[in-house]
Amino acid sequence: MVNKLQKISFLGIFVLLLFLPKNILAQDSEMEASPEASMEQDVQAAEQKNEFYKGQVLEILEEGNGGDLGYDLPTQKVKVKILDGPEKGKEIETEHGSYFAIREDQKVKAGDKVVVVKAHDTSGDIYVITDSYRVEPMLILFLVLAVLAFVVGGRSVLKLFALGGISLFAVIKFMIPQIVESKDPLMLTAIASVIFAAILIFSLEGLGKKSIVLLSSFILIVLAAMYGIQYVADYVSISGYGSEEAVFLQIGPYAGIDLKNMLLGGFIFASAAPMVYLGRKQFKFIEKALAGRKKLTKKELAKKSVFEVGQLASTFYFLLAFAFIAASYPLFLLLNFNQDVPMWVALNSEYFAEEIVRLIVVGVMIYGSVIVNAILGTYFLVSDKKKK
């Protein structure tokens, strides 16, 4: 019966996630265009639409340094074969490094797979190599990871991989479009985090009092974080503009996105999985302690669970901290960029401030979840044992 309810709940949550409303905010045009003008605009838009293909370099026809173009950077005349799409099998020639500058390490060689963009202008079609093709190598690396994880963790790892895939699909397919439509990124991330936590908890623990208490604890932490981190952001004066990606988003059609709340939502999302994992571990510890011979009061049991799981929480936190530091490694080069600038001025910049606050907020959420889990876990699980 429990397994059946578990499957039904999992399916129900996933269906709910799939059919989240996507309200498209339509804006009225200031000027009414005639049908003929609209049709002409559609034709022009269709003509300007780029086409993307996977290609393979067949031959390097010429190599140069761009001197004729007024700069001294590598250029290549390349023959490429289109590998997919309506032009599959077609061989084209393109000037790699002429349309935009490339470095020596970005030069291609025969056999390389590349991304080819077919652009349109008044002079005709232009084929441009824009990047290396990385999808297949990344898939192979992922399969290596999946096999290794399966060997170490067994079948349970497959379930976690599936849940991770569903979560990623939901973020790309539903959450990001909602943010683009000018919805509140912080609220959306909080809701998505709760849904993902529910899927994770119910799929791993099944339906039961322990799962409900664990999810309730997670929701309390998320609600507290939603309000608390906004005060923290105002207190430290971070705006969400402390990265190149944020600046880039403000240039194009996404200028209306609330970057501050998007940054803060990322803090919650980064803490979600560790909080669920630590909560499960803590509840199992409490159940084991209750089944033991030694009788403990609720206060003693709560303190002991905090101490035991707190050590694991510290391990998780420092692993996340090092991951954040590694991802922000180029920032540390800024410390030596200008020796005349004092260290405190560099650390005071928003580039560093965002990363420092991220580490602090994630740590507070992880350690806070251990305390909340101890309080709720001991209260409800001890009460449930007494009833039995």
* 35 vs 25: CA distance, rounded Å: 23
Assess contact for 178 and 192: CB atoms under 8 A: no
Q: How confident is the model at residue 89 (pLDDT cuts 50, 70, 90)?
A: very high
Helix (H) / strand (E) element for 93: namely strand 91-96
pLDDT of 58 = 93
| Domains located in the chain, CATH noted | 45-133 (2.40.50.140), 182-387 (1.20.1640)
Per-residue CA distances from 376 to 206, 215, 230 (Å): 19, 11, 26
Beta bridge partners of 81: 56, 91
Amino acid at 337: F
Q: How confident is the model at residue 203 (pLDDT cuts 50, 70, 90)?
A: confident
Residue 81, pLDDT > 90, answer yes
* 266 vs 257: CA distance, rounded Å: 14
CA 116 to chain centre: 26
* 304 vs 289: CA distance, rounded Å: 9
**Total-model pTM:** 0.69
| Cβ count near 380 (within 10 Å) | 19
Higher pLDDT pick, 328 / 70: 328
Mean pLDDT within 32-60: 65
| Cβ count near 305 (within 10 Å) | 25
Six-digit token pair at 129?
Answer: 């190599």
* 107 vs 180: CA distance, rounded Å: 35
Q: How confident is the model at residue 343 (pLDDT cuts 50, 70, 90)?
A: confident
Assess contact for 193 and 222: CB atoms under 8 A: yes
Per-residue CA distances from 10 to 7, 14, 164, 193, 208 (Å): 5, 6, 14, 15, 13
Mean pLDDT within 83-101: 87
* 275 vs 34: CA distance, rounded Å: 56
SS (H, E, C) 309-329: HHHHHHHHHHHHHHHHHHHCH
DSSP, collapsed to helix, strand or coil, labels residue 117 as strand
pLDDT of 290 = 79
Helix (H) / strand (E) element for 79: namely strand 75-82
Residue 324, pLDDT > 90, answer no
- Of 96, 98, 99, the residue nearest 110 (C-alpha): 96
The percent helix, strand, coil of the chain (3-state, each to 5) is 65, 10, 25
Query: What are the pLDDT digits (tens) for 218-260?
Result: 999 999 998 899 899 889 888 888 777 777 777 766 767 788 8
Query: What are the pLDDT digits (tens) for 138-177?
Result: 999 989 988 888 888 777 777 778 777 877 787 788 777 8
CA 94 to chain centre: 35
